[in-house]
Chain A
Amino acid sequence: MTRLALEDIRKSFASAEGAVPVLQGVSLAVDGGEVVALTGESGSGKSTLLHIAAGLEAPDAGRVLVAGQDMASLPDAGRARLRRGTVGLVFQQFNLVPSLSVGANLAFQARLAGVHDPAFCADLAARLGLTEYLRRYPEQLSGGQQQRVAIGRALAAKPKVLLADEPTGNLDEATGDAVFVLMLELARAQGTALLLVTHSARLAGQCDRNLHLRAGRLA
């Protein structure tokens, strides 16, 4: 069942020389439990596409369907609600909440969405190897540990769609591989549709499908 569908997405940015097209009619769909890699050179529009999929940015044209709901037709509050309960986001820089403990970070989005399940969260923490760090603060963790918290936070809310933007870009190869494998396992186990932006052909090779973006179009 299709969890995420992007239909003919177009986006351009204003510049001194006029409008610069970034996305020129991109369409894709990701089913539940499916892992899709999105690769492309720097500036090809990968992150912009991911931001549009998450409802963080609006497309100039096209439709974004998240769990059957058209993101573009929703007001800001509606998009936020959809993001809160349906979409999980994982970033390259982790973007944890620095003022909250690891435990609070892990549970944060699930509690926001009103779907917090303490037992599930504890199990997730154990699978991510974070149980002993729950009372610590993000700044006291290594990069790999922080990224595991970010993945746990996104998955604790049991999202229908998980969007990951270079989740291992800031980690060494061994740590990055371990984090990637874990994320794949958990997403597949939850039946979550995972769209993964990456530069790494090696990681992309482990996904169910691999899409390549070139000059704003899927190659």
Chain B
Amino acid sequence: MTLAALLSHWMRNKVQLAMLLAGLMLATALWSGVQALNAQARGAYATAAALMSEDGAASLVAPSGQMDQAVFAQLRGQGVLVSPVVEGRLRLGDTRLTLLGIEPLTAPQGTAAALADGDLQAFFAGAGFAHPETLADLGDPPLPLSPSSAVPVGTLLVDIGTAQRLLGMEGQISRLLLTGPAPRPLPEGLQLAQASEGAELAGLTDSFHLNLTAFGALAFAVGLFIVHSAVGLAFEQRRGLFRTLRSLGVPLRALTLALALELALMALVAGLAGLALGYVLAAALLPDVAATLRGLYGAPVPGSLQFSPAWALAGLGMAFAGAALAGAQALWRLWHMPVLAPAQPRAWAMATGRAMRWQVAGALGLGGLAVALALLGDGLFAGFALLAAALLAAALLTPPLLALGLRGASRLAQAPVVQWFWADSRQNLPRLSLALMALMLALAANIGVGTMVASFRATFIDWLDQRLVAEMTITPRDAAEAQTLEAFIAPRVQAVLPLRRVDATLVGQPGAVYAMRDHATFRDNWPLIAQVPNVWDRLATEEGALINEQLARRAGLWPGDSIALPGAGDVPILGVYPDYGNPLTQAIVTESWFDRLFPGTPTRQLAIRTDNPAGTRAALLDEFGLSAQAITDQAQAKQLSLAIFERTFLITGALNVLTLSVAALALFATLVTLSGLRLVQLAPLWAMGLTLRQLAGLELARALMLAGLTMVLALPVGLMLAQVLLAVINVQAFGWRLPLQVFPADWAQLALWAGLAMLAAAAWPAWRLWRGGGGPLLRVFAYER
């Protein structure tokens, strides 16, 4: 009965109910959507990790990336438990794939071996396995492939002999998986590689997923502002009902329980709807996320979403936790409300006003924590904790700062209506404060992330122009083709710059060492962020190495320091170069030294300098008979890099827009709910001669003014956010630091959007006031008796 009485409020306030449910639903949807994306990707990494071994087997590798197959027989003969693997990139039609060849009889107990064991005869005869999505991409594969979700997307699993044949690696293997203890000492020319691919991927992509989670959490928090605001206002509206129910003998415990039940009911409804929306959202965003993870990290993430009951339960749990968090204050206030508490609408506002002092204290505390984290914190988690503390502090400070501004404005005002406008805005601030805090957070996030992305884009485009100087790049099929190609093309162009690299562990982190030919292309264009004097001459004379920014920042190594390179010992660092988009560490030595350190390393690509790209291309295609797909021109390469860049931040942009939409919804919910309470404040003005049109206009102007002031407050917070993202989060997550650039035109555009969002939120209540013909205001006087 009590619950029915409580619920009757919502029957009469359907829009308010819709807003409350929408807030909780959106919060749940955005959070669970992001979690679904993360879970899907992490599941894919686990699949990749489990493919070769459930425990993550170590490998023996050669610096050149290949070794003679005889090494395998030799080690087995010595009783060392190893299994050969052939791995390489293969192009089938338009699709580039990873070809993984295993020897099923000696392979460790992983999903790959289990798959092969299913029909060994067929496997040995050339049959293989691929993810259903890969099969769909391939259309008509040139070898018999069976679908298996245990194989990562973009990988073909075949017998080692089949792989050698397809990759042109007869008699060669890529690595030896250790299925027992490593031999001591290690065979000559081989190195021990510990990390498994899946574990590496998980580590590399952690920052990406943490970024997504942070956005999800921000959207969830903004959504909770709506719920908290709606629950608080509903509590205020029902203060009289609570008093009546208590007076009629309903025990406080029963009333509180009924309110909690009401909240739980809403959490259930909104949570289920939020889960459904979250699933749809994740399914829509997954192809882009998967493409980003493939482009940035080479992570094999399928583009279709799998439903997981654990995810659904966790999402529902978040809905309940969010509702409990948002409703806790209302329940607490009900528990402490005297039986005859007066039903004054102002009481809530006054209580919130008192809470403002606590807010300021909390903001100062959080601000202090943010400063401490900035000075003493280390690592990505500390970076996000710094952001959370700073953003929360700024949000808490928003209402007191707005109140201060409004007080100043009301003192300056002369005309009576203007004076009332400022004073009334200040008085209503506590009721709007939660929605304004949500708006401030959303705007600051937009400014911060927008500035970061725009700064990154500007730097990235400059960097691309410097790095992609070569007019075209050729990818030969193998080492032999690379040699003949170089010999063929060298006389026809200005320069051929071969790209050779070996995988290597640099300062304990996965990476690669590259060879660089001493050429004006690099001397004139290659970007450096730190260098010793005469860096290029010293590099050419084998005095040291260049390292990428990721390595420099992670290891704290800069020009003047030394780095241990495989086979070369400690080498002086001559310079540090930016290397955006690459998650791995890198070092560069001059070509002649590289060839002595890593003899026999095949050339993977050839960069061509020519003033006749069309003629060169024609010669390669017509005279040499190269496949068109093996040639990438400069424009294509830039376009591809920019496309990867844009896709990477597409998700960020989408979440930005969603967060701003949630904040706009919070404002709408609050303004709609407040519009009823506002009538009492507006009716006297109307009676004294202000027209309905003037009153509606003033309501709209107030909304715009508050949006404008909130935008002004959000600007420094957003820039602080951008600075933390660029100088702390990016460095921790990706290993590069970018200069902060400001884009006032973007801010103006955002301010316009914020104004429009605020106008949209205020339009309906204002329109109702104007077109209501004074009826709702008259009722204020009529209800007096």
A111 near B: Cβ within 8 Å?
yes
Whether A77 contacts B693 in the complex (CB less than 8 A), given A54-B687, A56-B687, A169-B785, comes out as: yes
When chains A and B are docked, how far (Å) is the Cα of A91 from the Cα of B680?
Answer: 13
Contact A108 B689 (CB under 8 A): no
Do B785 and A81 touch across chains, with their CB atoms under 8 A apart? no
Contacts of A97 in B (CB 8 A): 420, 423-424, 681, 684-685
Q: How far is the CB of A127 from chain B (nearest CB, A)?
A: 21
A166 within 8 A of B: yes
Known pairs A97-B681, A99-B427, A100-B423; A165 contacts B781 (CB<8 A): yes
Which A residues, 80 to 94, have Cβ-Cβ distances below 8 Å to chain B? 80-85, 89, 91-93
Q: Which of A81-122 contact B (CB under 8 A)?
A: 81-85, 89, 91-93, 95-100, 104, 107-109, 111-113
> What 1/0 flags go to B757-785 for Cβ under 8 Å of A?
00000000000000000100110111011
- Is A47's beta carbon under 8 Å from chain B? yes
Q: Do A83 and B687 have beta carbons less than 8 Å apart?
A: yes
A residues less than 8 Å from B693 (CB atoms): 76-77
**Which among A57, A92, A107 is the interface contact of B416 at CB below 8 angstroms?**
A107
Interface centre among B692, B693, B774 (most CB of A within 10 A): B774
In the complex, per-residue mask of B657-698: 1 if CB is within 8 Å of any chain A CB, else 0: 000000000000000000000000101111111111110000
Taking the nearest CB of chain B, how far is it from the CB of A95, in angstroms?
4
Closest to B695 in A: A80
Chain B residues near A47 (CB-CB < 8 A):
781-782, 785
C-alpha gap A48/B687 in the complex (Å): 14
A30-49 residues at the B interface, CB under 8 angstroms? 42, 47
A212 at interface, CB cutoff 8 A: no
Q: A80 and B346: CB pair below 8 A?
A: no
Contact present for B689 and A109 (CB under 8 Å): yes
A214 contacts B by Cβ under 8 Å: no
Is A51 part of the binding interface, using a Cβ–Cβ cutoff of 8 Å?
Answer: yes
Chain B interface mostly:
helix
User: In the complex, what residue of chain B is closest to A58 when comparing beta carbons?
Assistant: B773
Chain B residues near A77: list those with CB within 8 A.
691, 693
Asked if A139 is at the interface of the complex by the 8 Å CB criterion, the answer is yes
**Across-interface contacts of B681 in A (CB, < 8 A):** 97-99
Enumerate chain B residues within 8 angstroms of A153, measured Cβ to Cβ: 688
Partner among B416, B423, B687, B692 whose Cβ is within 8 Å of the Cβ of A99: B423
Question: Given known contacts A97-B424, A97-B681, A99-B423, is B688 in contact with A166 (CB within 8 Å)?
Answer: no
User: Which residues from chain A contact B415 at a C-beta distance below 8 Å?
Assistant: 111
B430 to chain A, nearest CB (A): 12
How far, in Å, is A132 (CB) from chain B's closest CB? 21
Report the count of interface residues on B (CB-CB < 8 A): 31
B417 in the interface, Cβ–Cβ < 8 Å? yes
Name the residue on B nearest A169 (C-beta).
Answer: B785
- Chain A contributes a number of interface residues (CB within 8 A of B) equal to 36
Residues of the B chain whose Cβ atoms lie less than 8 Å from the Cβ of A112: 416-417, 688-690
**Contact among A85, A95, A104 for B683, CB-based, below 8 A:** A95
* Alpha-carbon distance A196/B780, docked complex (angstroms): 19
Chain A CB within 8 A of B601 CB: no
Interface positions of B from 422 to 447, Cβ below 8 Å from A: 423-424, 426-427
Q: Which of A42, A76, A95, A111 contacts B687 (CB 8 A)?
A: A95
Knowing A85-B689, A99-B427, A112-B690 touch, does A166 contact B785 (C-beta < 8 A)?
yes
A81 to B104, CA, bound (A): 94
Q: Which of B423, B426, B689, B785 contacts A80 (CB 8 A)?
A: B689
In the bound complex, how far is the Cα of B687 from the Cα of A165, in angstroms? 13
A37-75 Cβ-contact flags toward B at 8 Å (1 or 0): 000001000010001001011000000000000000000
B69 at the A interface (CB under 8 A) = no
Closest to A104 in B: B419
B688's partner among A92, A98, A104, A109 (CB-CB below 8 A) is A109
The answer on a CB contact under 8 Å between B688 and A83 is: yes
CB distance from A138 to the nearest CB of B (A): 10
**A83-B426 in contact (CB<8A):** no
**Taking CB as reference atom, which chain A residue is nearest B421?**
A99
Which residues does chain A contribute within 8 Å of B784, judged by CB atoms? Answer: 91-93, 165-166, 169
Q: A93 to B782, alpha carbons, bound, how many Å? A: 10
List of A residues within 8 angstroms of B426 by Cβ: 99
Give the contacts of B307-346 with A (CB-CB under 8 A).
346
Interface centre among A77, A80, A85, A89 (most CB of B within 10 A): A80
Specify the chain B residue showing the minimal Cβ separation from A81. B689
Contact residues in B for A91 (Cβ distance below 8 Å): 687, 781, 784
A165 partner residues in chain B, CB cutoff 8 A: 781, 784
A92 to B426, CA, bound (A): 26
A56: which of B346, B417, B427, B774 is its contact (CB, 8 Å)?
B774
A81 to B691, CA, bound (A): 8
* Contact assessment for B690 and A80 in the assembled complex, using a CB-CB cutoff below 8 Å: yes
Q: Report A18 CB to chain B, min CB distance, Å.
A: 19
With a cutoff of 8 Å between Cβ atoms, the chain B residues found around residue A139 in the complex are: 346
CA gap between A42 and B782 in the complex, in Å: 12
Contact A111 B774 (CB under 8 A): no
Tell me, in angstroms, the Cα distance from A133 to B785 when the chains sit together: 28
A6–B209 Cα distance when bound, in Å, is 74
Shortest CB distance B648–A (Å): 49
User: Cα distance A54–B684 when bound, in Å?
Assistant: 13
Residues of B within 8 A of A108 (CB): 416, 420, 688
- Chain A residues in 8 Å Cβ range of B778: 51, 56-57
Q: In the complex the two chains form, what is the Cα distance from A83 to B417 in whole Å?
A: 16
B341-357, CB < 8 A from A: 346
Closest Cβ of chain A: how far from B782's Cβ, in Å?
6
B416 touches A111 (CB 8 A): yes
The one of A42, A51, A96, A166 in contact with B684, judged by C-beta atoms closer than 8 angstroms, is A96
The distance in angstroms between the C-alpha atoms of A139 and B342, with both chains bound, is 14
Residues in B neighbouring A54, C-beta threshold 8 A: 687
Sample of 15 A–B contacts (CB below 8 Å): A51-B781, A56-B687, A57-B774, A77-B691, A80-B686, A80-B690, A81-B689, A91-B784, A93-B781, A95-B684, A97-B420, A99-B426, A100-B423, A107-B416, A111-B415
Counting from the closest, the 3 A-B pairs by CB-CB distance are: A84-B689, A99-B423, A111-B416
Beyond A97-B420, A100-B423, A108-B416, list 16 extra A-B contacts (CB 8 Å).
A56-B686, A56-B777, A56-B781, A76-B693, A82-B689, A84-B689, A91-B784, A93-B781, A95-B684, A98-B681, A104-B420, A104-B423, A111-B416, A153-B688, A165-B781, A169-B785
A residues whose Cβ falls under 8 Å from a Cβ of B: 42, 47, 51, 54, 56-57, 76-77, 80-85, 89, 91-93, 95-100, 104, 107-109, 111-113, 139, 153, 165-166, 169
Seen from chain B, the residues whose Cβ lies within 8 Å of a Cβ on chain A are 346, 415-417, 419-420, 423-424, 426-427, 681, 683-694, 774, 777-778, 780-782, 784-785
